[in-house]
Amino acid sequence: MAKQARSSRPAPRDRAITSALSKWFRSAARDLPWREEFRARRDPYRSLVSEFMLQQTQVSRVLEKFEPFLQRFPTVGALAAAPEQDVLAAWSGLGYYRRARLLHACAKSIVRDFGGVVPRDVDSLQELPGIGRYTAGAIASIVFNRPEPIVDGNVCRVLQRLDAKPGSASDKEVIAWAWERAESLVKQCPNSPSQREGAGGGRRDADVATPATFNEGLMELGALVCTPAAPKCLVCPLRDLCLAREQGLVDEIPAPKARAKRSRVYHDTVVVWRKTARGVEVLLEQRPATGLWAGLWQPPTVESATRTRRTLKSLLAELGLPASAAKVKPREWVFQTTHRDVCFRVWPLQLAHDAGSPRRWCEEAELAGVGFSNAHKEVIALAR
């Protein structure tokens, strides 16, 4: 049974934690484009975009999309002025498209309510669409070097192991404890003139912990060293300060959370194409404004909560498309999202159909600029 975390946490230990972690981060941090290699003051807008993109998305995927997105929308004003469909198209491939809409709304609010300047304090930041306590704390601390705490899954795991705090990182009591603990640690970062507000996490004395380097260090440690499985304790900069390691509890903390049951949905999709003088066109329709892949484009589709063996004839009738005598065998494929399996049956079909509202024909060469989910990119490729 895990021992309870120590009730008294002497300041010297906390200062040792913040100092060791900040020093490690300066030498071990990955070279990521939103960090700008510590050579200059962090750009608030770039950091804002990176924080939205990194929510529930692997760094490797964000690296593919970050710079192209910034090239298309180089300023908060440019993003605010852009049509939503352009934003969704630039976001295509990152998933969780609600984040793109919220980032777009956030940019509009910054322009409208804050004169186009990303606010510095957590209260103002949390007034913006899509920004909660974590994102507000990340921007305030990393960009403006304010002593604000951050807690996500990686940070909670690191803190639990440091103090041998039992429980799952998804438990409300553990999360509340983690926020309190993160705040007590970031407040240990000294407030010296060399850490003036707005200087970010860059040019600092290597032995001085700052809110910026400490908070980013927490995230980096959880991502690279203090991982959920097989943590690299021997190279951890906090190994001599970690109570879970001292008590042999690293593999038990945090406790695993119960896995949610995955659901299944069934999509019958017809990829309709036609040849024109300009080339090949594909018929598209827009998904509903809410729910899975909200507002994105897809080939004509009928969705079901249970498996229904539709024929092509019945599917075309249900979709309001012209009947076809073509003998087409559907191709079956399963796309996995975080919480569900989307089971596709895909029929490729050539029709000279008048699209009509709300459907439209899209030239094959223009598909890259349309807001698609990864699933529907694969569906079209599978059909072609």
Whether the CB-CB separation of 212 and 120 falls below 8 Å is answered with: no
CA pair distance 124, 136, nearest whole angstrom: 9
Q: What is the mean pLDDT of the chain?
A: 87
Average pLDDT over residues 344-373: 83
Domain termination site, one of 246, 274, 289: 246
Domain membership of residue 292 (yes or no) is yes
Q: Residue 289 pLDDT > 60, yes or no?
A: yes
User: Which residues, at least 6 apart from 19, have a Cβ–Cβ distance to it below 8 Å?
Assistant: 207, 208, 209
Domain membership of residue 257 (yes or no) is no
Instruction: List pLDDT tens digits, range 212-247.
Output: 999 999 999 999 999 999 999 999 999 999 999 999
341 shares a domain with 228: no
Residue among 51, 148, 220, 281 flagged as catalytic? 51
- Please give the single-letter amino acid code of residue 42: R
Average pLDDT over residues 173-191: 91
Please count the helices (runs of H) and the strands (runs of E) in the chain: 14, 7
279 shares a domain with 218: no
217 shares a domain with 317: no
349 shares a domain with 279: yes
207 shares a domain with 97: yes
CA angle in degrees (0–180, nearest 5) for 172-174-177: 110
Residue 193 has what pLDDT?
A: 35
Answer yes or no: 84 catalytic.
Answer: no
Most confident of 40-44, 114-118, 186-190, 309-313: 114-118
Average pLDDT over residues 51-65: 90
Banded model confidence at residue 381, pLDDT cuts 50, 70, 90: confident
Percent of the chain clearing pLDDT 70 (strictly above): 90
Average pLDDT over residues 287-315: 89
Domain membership of residue 256 (yes or no) is no
Banded model confidence at residue 207, pLDDT cuts 50, 70, 90: low
CATH code of the domain in which 35 resides: 1.10.340.30
User: Which residues, at least 6 apart from 236, have a Cβ–Cβ distance to it below 8 Å?
Assistant: 221, 225, 226, 242, 245
* Residue 358, preceding peptide bond in cis (omega within 30° of 0): yes
Domain encompassing residue 336: 263-383
CA distances, 296 to each of 66, 207, 366 (Å): 20, 49, 15
